[in-house]
Amino acid sequence: MPDHLTEQQLTDIETRANAATKGPWGFYDGDTYADVAADLQMTSRASYSYRQKIAQLEDENYWDDPDHEEYDEQRAPEQMAANAAFIAHAREDVPTLVVEVRRLRDELAEEKASHNPRLRCLIVKTAKDRDQYVGWSTIADGPTGVWSRQTALAYGFPPSRLNRADLNGSSDLSCGDGHWDDKGWVADQRGWLRRDRIGEYAVEYLHGDRQAAYALLEPFDDEPAGQ
């Protein structure tokens, strides 16, 4: 068993849970249907089937296996009721567990990222309908990277940061830096960068064409941005 559930495993569990029939679940023995939540009398039928299975296993020398589980005739209905309750609650429990695992994983990923210098930048989504994310240093007033969602995750950014950028425009949690209604930033102390130009600016800047990048800025005091 792996040390932790992968994102794909969590997604598979969530998909199976969402595809299942909505509760409450019940029990069908071929003749009648019993609502698990309302009628646990089914345990008597299950207990009978269980005793039949035990008899079959006795004929097969099952009891020679030292790991077998002792069958308690008196506790069979109680045990089957517990099993039925477990199954009946699985439809709600599984999605809850998936959400909790993701929450804890996001918390851990955010904590680890906060100690990684290359992941400390602000994540800005360039447009709501565009799969492009820019890393922006509020210290250096410039871009640190440009990624798609997939490449940003591969780079090491926590999914929760990208989710915030999808929702709000950026990963900022404090003053709304980079949110959808943000007007822009001072860039490289050379001019004002409008928010809607951040993607194009980052690409030109990081590709080394500073002249093309600075041409996208609105200059201070009406001076040419490239000077």
pLDDT along the chain (227 residues), means of 10: 69 82 62 53 49 55 52 67 77 86 86 87 97 95 96 93 96 93 94 96 96 94 52
Please give the pLDDT value at position 131.
98
Residues 127 and 109 in one domain: no
Please give the pLDDT value at position 17.
80
Residues 101 and 141 in one domain: no
Please give the pLDDT value at position 185.
93
Residues 105 and 22 in one domain: yes
- Please list, in sequence order, all residues whose beta carbon lies within 8 angstroms of the beta carbon of residue 192, skipping any fewer than 6 positions away: 184, 185, 186, 217, 218, 219, 220
Residues 131 and 63 in one domain: no
Q: Which residue has the tokens 């800005």?
A: 124
In a domain, 127, yes or no: yes
Residue 86, judged by CB atoms within 10 A of its CB (0-12, 13-18, 19+), counts as exposed
In a domain, 1, yes or no: no
CB 50 within 8 A of CB 76: yes
Please give the pLDDT value at position 31.
62
Residues 77 and 155 in one domain: no
Q: Which residue has the tokens 């019993």?
A: 34
Look at the chain and report how many structural domains it folds into. Answer: 2
CA–CA dist 98, 103 (Å, integer): 9
Please give the pLDDT value at position 1.
46
Please give the pLDDT value at position 64.
53
Give the end of a domain, one of 57, 82, 114. 114
Give the end of a domain, one of 90, 114, 138. 114
pLDDT tens, position by position, 100-133: 888 888 888 888 888 888 898 999 999 999 999 9
Domain enclosing residue 11, as ranges:
7-114
Q: What is the pTM of this model?
A: 0.59
b/e per residue, 147-158, with b = 16+ CB within 10 A?
bebeebeeeebb
Please give the pLDDT value at position 227.
47
